[in-house]
Amino acid sequence: MSATDGNGLKDRIIRVGTRKSQLARIQTDSVVEMLCKQYPGLHFEIVAMSTTGDKILDTALSKIGEKSLFTKELENALERNEVDLVVHSLKDLPTSLPPGFTIGAICKRENPHDAVVFHPKSCGKTLNALPDKSVIGTSSLRRAAQLKRSFPQLEFRDIRGNLNTRLKKLDEKEDFSAIILAAAGLRRMGWENRIGQILNPEDCLYAVGQGALAIEVRAKDQEILDMVSALHDGETVLCCIAERAFMKHLEGGCSVPVAVSTLLKDSQLYLTGAVYSLDGSDSLRETMQTSVNYPQQNEDGPNDDVQHVGITAKNIPHRAQEAAEKLGNRRI
Residue 159 belongs to a domain with what CATH number?
A: 3.40.190.10
Last residue within a domain, chosen from 141, 174, 198: 198
> Is 229 a member of any domain?
yes
d(CA 211, CA 111): 6
> Is 218 a member of any domain?
yes
In this structure, the answer to whether residues 67 and 118 fall within a common structural domain is: no
211: nearest Cα among 232, 236, 238, 184: 184
d(CA 125, CA 303): 52
Other C-beta atoms closer than 10 Å to the C-beta of 276 total: 23
In this structure, the answer to whether residues 82 and 118 fall within a common structural domain is: no
In this structure, the answer to whether residues 223 and 291 fall within a common structural domain is: yes
In this structure, the answer to whether residues 325 and 304 fall within a common structural domain is: yes
* pLDDT (average), residues 160-179: 93
160: nearest Cα among 88, 260, 254, 75: 254
> Is 1 a member of any domain?
no
For residue 2, pLDDT over 50 is answered with no
Q: What is the mean pLDDT of the chain?
A: 90
Residue range(s) defining the domain that contains residue 189: 114-198
CA distances from 23 to 32, 54, 320 (A): 14, 12, 32
Among residues 5, 11, 58, 92, which one is catalytic?
92
The pLDDT of residue 297 = 79
In this structure, the answer to whether residues 51 and 176 fall within a common structural domain is: no
Question: How sure is the predictor about 300, in pLDDT bands with cuts at 50, 70 and 90?
Answer: low
For residue 302, pLDDT over 90 is answered with no
In this structure, the answer to whether residues 94 and 238 fall within a common structural domain is: yes
In this structure, the answer to whether residues 248 and 283 fall within a common structural domain is: yes
Question: How sure is the predictor about 270, in pLDDT bands with cuts at 50, 70 and 90?
Answer: very high
In this structure, the answer to whether residues 144 and 169 fall within a common structural domain is: yes
The pLDDT of residue 3 = 47
Model pLDDT for residues 50-64, shown as the tens digit of each residue: 765 444 444 454 444
Residue partners of 215: CB distance under 8 A and separation at least 6: 31, 85, 86, 87, 88, 103, 104, 105, 106, 107, 228, 231
Percent of the chain clearing pLDDT 90 (strictly above): 79
pTM: 0.91
Whether 92 sits among the annotated catalytic residues: the reply is yes
In this structure, the answer to whether residues 127 and 102 fall within a common structural domain is: no
270: nearest Cα among 255, 256, 281, 260: 260
For residue 301, pLDDT over 60 is answered with no
Which residues lie across from 286 on neighbouring strands?
273
> Is 95 a member of any domain?
yes
In this structure, the answer to whether residues 183 and 311 fall within a common structural domain is: no
In this structure, the answer to whether residues 107 and 229 fall within a common structural domain is: yes
Model pLDDT for residues 122-158, shown as the tens digit of each residue: 999 999 999 999 999 998 999 999 999 999 999 999 9
More confident site: 8 or 294: 294
> Is 6 a member of any domain?
no
How many structural domains is the chain composed of?
A: 2
